[in-house]
Amino acid sequence: MQNVSVKAATLIGSEIIKLGAEINQKIKEGNQIYNLTIGDFNSEIFPIPDALQRYIIEAYTARQTNYPAADGMPELKQSIIHFISKYEHLDFADNEVLVAGGGRPIIHAIYKTIVDPGEKVIYPVPSWNNNHYCHLSDAQKVEIATKAEDGFMPTAEELAPHLSEAVLLALCSPLNPTGTTFKKEQLTAICDLVLAENKRRAGIKKPLYVLYDQIYWMLRADEIEHFNPVSLRPEMKAYTIFVDGISKSLCATGVRVGWGLGPAEIIVKMKAILSHIGAWAPKPEQVATARFLADEQALNEFLKALKAKIVIRFDGMYKGFQKLKAKGFPVEIIKPEAAIYLTARFAIKGKRTAEGTLIETTQDITNFLLNRAQLAIVPFTAFGCDTSTDWYRISIGTLKEGDIPELLDKLEKALGELK
């Protein structure tokens, strides 16, 4: 007899957290591991802004410790509205903004607000956690396999056959896990499909909404432009719900301040759902974030310094993999565009280790990299891809600049052992 609900019994835990726990155990046992699995920052290398830290402390000292407003502190909502207007040229009203404890509650609230049990949600794979949100919402998931040549970003052609039956299209740019982004033509074509579909079903059935996760959009290479549905097609504002926050752009994954932007009639229902969950961002952190977002000089200086540190790591790893490929090793890497991720391929299935063990599966590749190169990275199977994939996410948020040459040297030696 089952002692828990079917939903709880069938929920799959985070594959990345599970892998991270295994790696941490190896580290505790004395193994040197380059742990590049978790999409987080080493706060010694990538601390939050000094001013933000100071504002948080001041808010606690001022005893700003009671309940925050259910949809977010008014001063924070105004700072978000100004921030989005200045940097993305988007205009939102107060009732179109919802603050929560990071991006995850916002995503969950979007699913619960839009999707009824059994309705279809479309999302590309690889992507982060949409399979779990579908499970929690009793949604039918429609997974669209993407291609490396498209930067693993979905195309209008891939999505078109599935839109007529769906109520939600979940998109992310810059994309976790790949660090790639939508190009203008790609996203414009998708928006045109969504608008045409909503024109077709107007007054007949529920609209097709777009969840647009842009949590990494401030962390992109200088030559990469960020595009969003509403800037490209203003009519998309009626159908787009943005997911954003400070977790990634301010290295503040533990501070837990995120927000959603969207149609007022959707935002008000998301607010009601989260008010029953109690998924508010802590009031001191909200007050502090409001002050920091309004401090444009401090924000711009921090982002400039942060992006410089990210670029150093991107360049070191990207050029290192290119050299390995030039030497004939079976690896590929996609040029990084944004976020804190690189996308790499290890085409080593069918080869044997120095001990004679045949590498047959993705898990074999993962184990080989971990045990022979001391390199811990996440296979795309953790992001919904087929179990035969040999593509991986490399997160540089915990990578020390000085470790890059040694890491690449160990990887080269390990690959050189294969026969």
What value does the mean pLDDT take over residues 112-124? 98
What value does the mean pLDDT take over residues 163-184? 97
Are 123 and 166 in a shared domain?
Answer: yes
* CATH code for the domain of 97: 3.40.640.10
Residue 126 is assigned to a structural domain of this protein: yes
Are 99 and 27 in a shared domain?
Answer: no
pLDDT at 23 over 90: no
pLDDT band at residue 363 using 50, 70 and 90 as cut-offs: very high
* Number of separate domains in the chain: 2
Half-sphere exposure in the Cβ direction for 133 (13 Å, CA): 28
Residue with tokens 């990275």: 377
* CATH code for the domain of 376: 3.90.1150.10
Do 98 and 71 touch, CB atoms closer than 8 A? yes
Q: Where does 199-289 show beta strands of DSSP type E? A: 209-213, 240-245, 258-261
Residue 1 is assigned to a structural domain of this protein: no
pLDDT at 329 over 90: yes
Helix (H) or strand (E) holding 6: helix 6-10
pLDDT tens digits for range 202-252: 989 999 999 999 999 999 999 999 999 999 999 999 999 999 999 999 999
Q: Which residues pair with 170 in a beta bridge?
A: 211
Chain mean pLDDT for the chain: 95
Are 146 and 205 in a shared domain?
Answer: yes
Are 240 and 334 in a shared domain?
Answer: no
Residues listed for the chain = 419
Q: Which residues pair with 358 in a beta bridge?
A: 352
Choose the final residue of a domain: 242, 267, 295.
295
Do 244 and 258 touch, CB atoms closer than 8 A? yes
Are 239 and 95 in a shared domain?
Answer: yes
pLDDT at 25 over 90: no
What value does the mean pLDDT take over residues 367-393? 94
DSSP 263: -
Residue with tokens 């402390």: 57
Are 279 and 407 in a shared domain?
Answer: no
Are 104 and 133 in a shared domain?
Answer: yes
| pLDDT at residue 244, rounded to an integer | 98
Choose the final residue of a domain: 273, 295, 317.
295
Lowest mean pLDDT segment, chosen from 25-39, 117-131, 294-308, 359-373 = 25-39
Are 266 and 290 in a shared domain?
Answer: yes
Choose the final residue of a domain: 261, 295, 329.
295
| pLDDT at residue 1, rounded to an integer | 62
pLDDT tens digits for range 128-161: 999 999 999 999 999 999 999 999 999 999 999 9
What value does the mean pLDDT take over residues 364-387? 94
Residue with tokens 């490209």: 232
Are 72 and 133 in a shared domain?
Answer: yes
**341-346 sheet: strands from edge to edge:** 331-334, 341-346, 391-395, 378-379
| pLDDT at residue 29, rounded to an integer | 85
Residue 176 is assigned to a structural domain of this protein: yes
Residue 130 is assigned to a structural domain of this protein: yes
Backbone angles phi, psi at 144, to 5 degrees: -110, 110
Distance in angstroms (rounded) separating the CA atoms of residues 324 and 418? 14
Distance in angstroms (rounded) separating the CA atoms of residues 139 and 134? 5
> What is the percentage of the chain residues whose pLDDT exceeds 90?
91
Are 229 and 317 in a shared domain?
Answer: no
Are 41 and 56 in a shared domain?
Answer: no
Distance in angstroms (rounded) separating the CA atoms of residues 346 and 378? 12
Our measurement of the distance from residue 318's CA atom to the centroid of its chain's CA atoms, rounded to an integer in Å, reads 20
- Strands 391-395, 378-379: parallel, antiparallel or unpaired by DSSP? antiparallel
Exposed / middle / buried, residue 4 (Cβ in 10 Å: 0-12, 13-18, 19+) = exposed
pLDDT at 20 over 80: no
Residue 268 is assigned to a structural domain of this protein: yes
pLDDT at 13 over 80: no
Residue 136 is assigned to a structural domain of this protein: yes
Are 81 and 183 in a shared domain?
Answer: yes
Domain that holds residue 249: 51-295
pLDDT band at residue 127 using 50, 70 and 90 as cut-offs: very high
pLDDT at 12 over 90: no
Nearest C-alpha neighbor of 159 from the set 174, 145, 172, 148:
145
pTM of model > 0.75 = yes
Helix (H) or strand (E) holding 84: helix 74-88
pLDDT band at residue 353 using 50, 70 and 90 as cut-offs: very high
> What is the percentage of the chain residues whose pLDDT exceeds 70?
100
